[in-house]
Amino acid sequence: MPAELKYWFPAKRYGWGWGFPLRWQGWLVMIAFVALLAAGVGFFPPATKPGAYFLFVIILITILTGICWLTGEPPRWRWGDKDRA
């Protein structure tokens, strides 16, 4: 199996970071992330507890970034087709 297919998250074609998941594990992570964001609105209503909700979102984003870093292609700045040559 080619090494690039083992990544859960591919590198973006332009810019820095990762794109949509390639494998079911990545999709599961994304679904869990969105579900936790939605659940956070119930636990920390932004209208009454904006600071707690903001902290909750920052923690979720940090965890998602860590998972992408560990299971995705190595991040670096990419220029689209210019990088592929």
- State the pLDDT at residue 4: 47
- State the pLDDT at residue 76: 85
Q: Which residues of the chain have pLDDT under 50?
A: 1, 4
- State the pLDDT at residue 31: 98
| Full-model pTM | 0.81
- State the pLDDT at residue 13: 85
Q: Where are the domains of the chain?
A: 26-74
- State the pLDDT at residue 79: 84
- State the pLDDT at residue 2: 57
d(CA 39, CA 3): 36
Q: Which residue matches tokens 């090494």?
A: 3
Give bridge partners of residue 14 from the DSSP assignment. 79
- State the pLDDT at residue 1: 46
